[in-house]
């Protein structure tokens, strides 16, 4: 499904993903739909500041944070799908300029996985958001 979110099938894919993501059960297809939709919508925010897409992707990412992985599948490692989906959403929020949303997602994900490489990556991403190189001085009076 991931590649189909671009092009002429995109509206139908978003509709299908929303139908799955809105379910209450915590099955692998629901989790996958939430991840794909959150990632897709947050990436769309980079191109154009779209508050509706931002809010929907943030809601989906927070739902993923609040919902543990349920059933496992032999073809996918669902906790990785969930974790990397949340991280991608945070990355996209940062690139789109929604810094407070990115900080919230990075912090929550790092707090859920203390001591992991994912937590380290989230903390590194957070530090990059607030690290600014000093401007070169051209004149001591300035």
* CATH number, domain with residue 126: 1.25.40
Q: Checking phi first, is residue 97 left (phi over 0); if not, alpha (psi -120 to 50) or beta?
A: left
Question: Structurally, how many domains does the chain consist of?
Answer: 1
- Residue 64, in any domain of the structure: yes
- Residue 28, in any domain of the structure: yes
Cα three-residue angle 106-53-20, rounded to 5 degrees: 90
Query: Does the pLDDT value for residue 92 go beyond 90?
Result: yes
Instruction: Dump pLDDT digits (tens) for 4-17.
Output: 777 788 888 889 99
Tell me what the pLDDT averaged over the chain comes to: 87
> Among 85, 108, 101, which residue's Cα sits nearest to residue 34?
85
- Residue 142, in any domain of the structure: no
- Residue 38, in any domain of the structure: yes
Position 62 scores a pLDDT of: 96
From CA 99, how far away is CA 58, in angstroms rounded? 12
Q: Which residues contact 113 (CB under 8 A, 6 or more apart)?
A: 83, 119
Query: Does the pLDDT value for residue 93 go beyond 90?
Result: yes
- Residue 7, in any domain of the structure: yes
Percent of the chain with pLDDT over 70: 89
Task: Decide: 53 and 65 in contact? Cβ < 8 Å.
Answer: no
Find the domain containing 69 and state its range.
Answer: 2-130
Position 141 scores a pLDDT of: 56
Task: Decide: 95 and 106 in contact? Cβ < 8 Å.
Answer: no
- Residue 137, in any domain of the structure: no
- Residue 14, in any domain of the structure: yes
- Residue 138, in any domain of the structure: no
């Amino acid at each position: 499904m991931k590649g189909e979110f671009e092009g002429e099938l995109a509206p139908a894919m978003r509709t299908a993903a929303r139908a799955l993501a809105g379910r209450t059960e915590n099955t692998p297809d629901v989790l996958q739909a939430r991840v794909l939709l959150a990632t897709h919508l947050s990436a769309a925010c980079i191109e154009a500041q779209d508050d509706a897409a931002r809010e929907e992707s943030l809601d989906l990412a927070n739902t993923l944070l609040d919902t543990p992985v349920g059933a496992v599948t032999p073809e996918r490692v669902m906790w990785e799908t969930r974790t990397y989906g949340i991280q991608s959403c945070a990355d996209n929020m940062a690139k789109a300029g929604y810094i407070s949303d990115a900080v919230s997602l990075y912090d929550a994900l790092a707090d859920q996985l203390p001591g992991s490489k994912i937590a380290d990556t989230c903390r590194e991403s957070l530090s990059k958001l607030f690290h600014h190189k000093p401007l070169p001085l051209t004149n001591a009076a300035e």
